[in-house]
A and B are shown apart, each in its own frame.
Chain A
């Protein structure tokens, strides 16, 4: 890491990145998981092409139809149908859209806001640092789900509101990490050198310090995406997330709750999707952490 932050060390920085990437690619489980995450992303993008049926089309004759391999099932509806006779597989495929969009959007908003706030607090210190740190302390005082639930209750349902409700607390973690890294970096020679050369504060923060705090930021952000996806699913499960009939894995699990006796498949399959995606993200980000920022290893 220190080699990468020396001025004029472009070539060596690149080779460190390449070495990190090599480390990552050597971790087979992490690579398979990363491919899994990409497959989910592809599923979200291509949902209309992949889904065998219209996820909104209900056919009451197929109400609670079992999966294909059970009696009464058919291969045209492999995972069975829900209480309105909609194809569960098609809805599960479309459900990836909500999870991926919210996961990525919240992660990006949180990373950018947290990065800017963390850089400013760590480099400028003084009033800015005190203000940012106080806000961080207060937000840390809320259990995540409680704050999100409270905000959703106030703002009402909707995709944009979920992103807001989650991002309001989510930026705190990247902010804390960037702040800590910045505090350490501002004392280093390369920052001092830039300062002596008359570089502006914005230049020092964004061009000198930022590149060196990027890898912990990326590692933390990818990890957090797993939590964000579970949070969205939890809100949707409680009926506070995206509203019906838009398919979301969390609300699909909730829909099936009334039919646990007799129609277990309605709740089970969307849950499997959440588990697989979250598991893939967790494993991939573990690999990413081990390769890019071994200091964070627990």
Chain B
């Protein structure tokens, strides 16, 4: 893609991001209740103190000025104080981000492995029992609510079999010093294999829960794309030349079949972000999703506002990357 086309695409993001900012701003600005009272909570304050707090927070200015201020602050990651934590919102969020990213990445890895693997198998063994199994799995995957699937996994693996933990990121015994916030990395840095395995065991159920819907979709896409690729002339030609079955499947067919799969995967990673709240709530995972839900119940609006904005911006950027990836992989698409 030419640099000009890339720049054009980037510029197209600006109105979308501004629109998202506007919705998030007005969503919170129109919330009933006085932010000053909310922030003070039970603390006693004189009317003068309240007035000065109101001025400090910029609440005495007209709406459009507050919006411009909000966008300016948002661009620099300045979201004010978290009511509940009495610390800057950005700081509270940063602490929680690694847990969510770790969970998301592992979920995506699981979804890719199962989705592509099953999809290829189903296409190669079309109409066999494995194809039917894959179809049923993918149908269940999109029809099952994530929170309930998570609970079923807990019932089976934690309650009935007792082989995996119910919630949290790591056991007390396995805690390691904070370096990156990614426990799988930190445990290895601390050279604690037992902690690494413990962290992995904690990750497994939430990651499978979160990845299920994505795996189901990827499976469908891969199967369809693989079937299409296998029906192409170049595959027949390669087979006629006497190239081995495996080589034809992986070097010729799969390479082309992966184009739609990769694009769908990038888009679905964004969708997966929405599932964070559910999965983190079910498994008591101390990430961003849990933070948002807690923030709503404690009416911690600056925090909720920042998180919703962060999720939306990440989502837009992921979709943008999916577009670029699709163009890069598929020479027929000219941007």
Q: Do A and B bind each other?
A: yes
Residues of chain A at the chain B interface (Cβ within 8 Å): 134-135, 137-138, 140-147, 149-154, 226, 230, 233-234, 237-240, 250, 253-254, 256-257, 260-261, 264, 267-268, 271, 274-275, 278-279, 282-283, 298
B 135-151 to A, binary, CB cutoff 8 A, 1 in contact else 0:
00001101111111001
The dominant DSSP class at the A interface is: helix
Interface centre among A149, A233, A267 (most CB of B within 10 A): A149
Q: Apart from A145-B274, A149-B293, A154-B31, what 19 extra A-B contacts exist at CB < 8 Å?
A: A138-B20, A142-B311, A143-B274, A143-B312, A146-B273, A146-B274, A146-B312, A147-B308, A230-B145, A234-B146, A237-B145, A253-B148, A257-B282, A261-B159, A264-B159, A271-B152, A275-B148, A298-B220, A298-B224
Interface centre among B145, B166, B220, B292 (most CB of A within 10 A): B145
A279 CA to B155 CA, complexed, in Å:
22
Q: Are B154 and A143 in contact (CB under 8 A)?
A: no
User: Closest B-chain residue to A151, C-beta based?
Assistant: B27
A75 CA to B155 CA, complexed, in Å:
24
Q: Are A146 and B27 in contact (CB under 8 A)?
A: no
Q: Are A271 and B20 in contact (CB under 8 A)?
A: no
- The 4 A-B pairs with the shortest beta carbon distances in the complex, nearest first, are A138-B19, A143-B274, A271-B148, A145-B274
B278 within 8 Å of A by Cβ? yes
Q: Are B308 and A150 in contact (CB under 8 A)?
A: yes
In the assembled complex, the CB of B126 is this many whole angstroms from the nearest CB of chain A, namely 16
Given A137-B15, A230-B145, A260-B151, residue A145 in contact with residue B315 (CB < 8 A)? no
Contacting residues of chain B (11-54) with chain A, CB-CB under 8 angstroms: 15-17, 19-20, 22-24, 27-28, 30-31
Q: Are A142 and B20 in contact (CB under 8 A)?
A: yes
In the assembled complex, the CB of B173 is this many whole angstroms from the nearest CB of chain A, namely 22
| Neighbouring A residues of B316 by C-beta, 8 Å | 141
A203 CA to B203 CA, complexed, in Å:
58
B275 within 8 Å of A by Cβ? yes
Q: Are A278 and B274 in contact (CB under 8 A)?
A: no
Q: Are B293 and A238 in contact (CB under 8 A)?
A: yes
| Neighbouring B residues of A239 by C-beta, 8 Å | 297
A260 CA to B293 CA, complexed, in Å:
22
Given A137-B16, A233-B145, A260-B154, residue A145 in contact with residue B24 (CB < 8 A)? no
| Neighbouring A residues of B308 by C-beta, 8 Å | 142, 146-147, 149-150
User: Closest A-chain residue to B147, C-beta based?
Assistant: A237
**A/B interface sample: 10 pairs, CB < 8 A:** A138-B20, A141-B19, A143-B315, A145-B275, A146-B274, A147-B23, A147-B308, A152-B296, A234-B147, A238-B281
Residues of chain B at the chain A interface (Cβ within 8 Å): 15-17, 19-20, 22-24, 27-28, 30-31, 139-140, 142-148, 151-152, 154-155, 159, 166, 220-221, 224, 270-271, 273-275, 277-278, 281-282, 292-293, 296-297, 304, 308, 311-312, 315-316, 319
In the assembled complex, the CB of A274 is this many whole angstroms from the nearest CB of chain B, namely 5
| Neighbouring B residues of A140 by C-beta, 8 Å | 319
Pick the residue among B139, B159, B221, B278 that contacts A145 (CB under 8 A): B278
In the assembled complex, the CB of B168 is this many whole angstroms from the nearest CB of chain A, namely 15
| Neighbouring B residues of A137 by C-beta, 8 Å | 15-16, 19
Q: Are B159 and A260 in contact (CB under 8 A)?
A: yes
A143 CA to B274 CA, complexed, in Å:
6
Given A134-B19, A267-B148, residue A149 in contact with residue B155 (CB < 8 A)? no
In the assembled complex, the CB of B260 is this many whole angstroms from the nearest CB of chain A, namely 10
| Neighbouring A residues of B297 by C-beta, 8 Å | 239
Pick the residue among A141, A146, A261, A275 that contacts B145 (CB under 8 A): A275
A27 CA to B331 CA, complexed, in Å:
39
User: Closest B-chain residue to A230, C-beta based?
Assistant: B145
Q: Are A234 and B315 in contact (CB under 8 A)?
A: no
Q: Are A237 and B278 in contact (CB under 8 A)?
A: yes
| Neighbouring B residues of A278 by C-beta, 8 Å | 143-145
User: Closest A-chain residue to B295, C-beta based?
Assistant: A153
| Neighbouring A residues of B154 by C-beta, 8 Å | 260
Q: Are A260 and B155 in contact (CB under 8 A)?
A: yes
User: Closest B-chain residue to A283, C-beta based?
Assistant: B139
| Neighbouring A residues of B292 by C-beta, 8 Å | 146, 149
A260 CA to B31 CA, complexed, in Å:
36
In the assembled complex, the CB of A72 is this many whole angstroms from the nearest CB of chain B, namely 18
| Neighbouring A residues of B296 by C-beta, 8 Å | 149, 152-153, 240
| Neighbouring B residues of A238 by C-beta, 8 Å | 277-278, 281, 293
Q: Are A253 and B23 in contact (CB under 8 A)?
A: no
In the assembled complex, the CB of B259 is this many whole angstroms from the nearest CB of chain A, namely 15
A22 CA to B17 CA, complexed, in Å:
47
Q: Are A275 and B143 in contact (CB under 8 A)?
A: yes
User: Closest A-chain residue to B313, C-beta based?
Assistant: A141
User: Closest A-chain residue to B160, C-beta based?
Assistant: A264
A271 CA to B16 CA, complexed, in Å:
37
| Neighbouring A residues of B145 by C-beta, 8 Å | 230, 233-234, 237, 250, 253, 271, 274-275, 278
Given A150-B304, A151-B27, residue A144 in contact with residue B151 (CB < 8 A)? no
User: Closest B-chain residue to A271, C-beta based?
Assistant: B148
Pick the residue among B27, B144, B166 that contacts A150 (CB under 8 A): B27
A250 CA to B16 CA, complexed, in Å:
33
In the assembled complex, the CB of B334 is this many whole angstroms from the nearest CB of chain A, namely 20
In the assembled complex, the CB of B67 is this many whole angstroms from the nearest CB of chain A, namely 15
| Neighbouring B residues of A237 by C-beta, 8 Å | 145, 147, 278, 281
